[in-house]
Amino acid sequence: MVCFHCGRENEAKSKVCRYCGYPLISEKAEIGFSSPDTEYIGPRVQNLPIEAQQSSQKEANVLSDLPSHSEANPTADTIERRWKDKKLLAAIFSVAVIFAALAIFNGSGQRNTAVFSYISEDALEILADTNKNTTFVWNTGGEKLFEMDEALTAFFIPDKTAAILFDQENRCRYYVNAKKLIRLREDISMLNISINGQYLMYSAKEEQESMLYRYDVKKEKEELLDQGKGFGSLIISPDGKTMAYAAASDRTGADSEDFACYLIRNGGEPEFFGKKRAIFALSDHAEYIYYYELQENKKIAYAQKEGQSVYLTDSLDRVMVNLDCSELLYSVEGSTYLFNGKDKIKIYDSLIRDVIKPKNSQSNGVYPGFNSFKSKALIFQDNAVVWIDDKYAARKVGNNIGHYFAIISDTENTLMYATRKLEIEKVTIQGDTEDSKRFVNNADQVATSGDLSDVYYLSGDQLYYKNNMEEAIMLADQVEGLCLNAKGDIAFFQKDCTTKSNVRKGTLYYSIHGGEPRPVKDGKEAVLLGQWNYGIAFAGENDTGSYDLYYNTKGIEFKLILEDVSFEDIINEDRNYN
Interval 118-151: pLDDT, tens: 999 999 999 999 989 999 999 999 999 999 999 9
Task: Name the nearest CA neighbour of 151 among 170, 169, 168, 133.
Answer: 133
Q: What is the pTM of this model?
A: 0.80
Alpha helices in 343-402 (DSSP H): none
Task: Name the nearest CA neighbour of 316 among 358, 267, 281, 359.
Answer: 281
The SS3 of residue 9 is strand
The C-alpha atoms of residue 279 and residue 290 are separated, in whole angstroms, by: 6
The strands making up 288-295's β-sheet, listed across from edge to edge, are: 277-282, 288-295, 298-305, 308-313
DSSP string, 28-85: TSPP-B--TTS--B-TTGGG-----TT--TTTTTSB-----SB-SS--HHHHH--GGG
DSSP string, 113-133: TTTB-B--TT--EEEEETTTT
pLDDT tens profile 141-197: 999 999 999 999 999 998 999 999 998 888 888 999 999 999 999 889 899 999 889
DSSP secondary structure letter of residue 110: -
Instruction: Report pLDDT for 251.
Output: 55
Task: Name the nearest CA neighbour of 236 among 192, 271, 196.
Answer: 192
Instruction: Report pLDDT for 256.
Output: 58
Amino acid identity, residue 177?
Answer: N
Instruction: Report pLDDT for 348.
Output: 96
The C-alpha atoms of residue 480 and residue 493 are separated, in whole angstroms, by: 6
Phi, then psi, of 45 in degrees rounded to 5: -65, -25
Q: Which residues of the chain have pLDDT under 70?
A: 1-114, 250-257, 365, 573-578
Under 8 Å between Cβ of 458 and 443: yes
CA angle 453, 457, 461 (to 5 degrees): 160
| Contacts for 345 with CB less than 8 Å, ≥ 6 apart | 337, 338, 339, 392
The C-alpha atoms of residue 572 and residue 522 are separated, in whole angstroms, by: 23
The C-alpha atoms of residue 143 and residue 31 are separated, in whole angstroms, by: 36
Phi, then psi, of 354 in degrees rounded to 5: -170, 170
Instruction: Report pLDDT for 306.
Output: 85
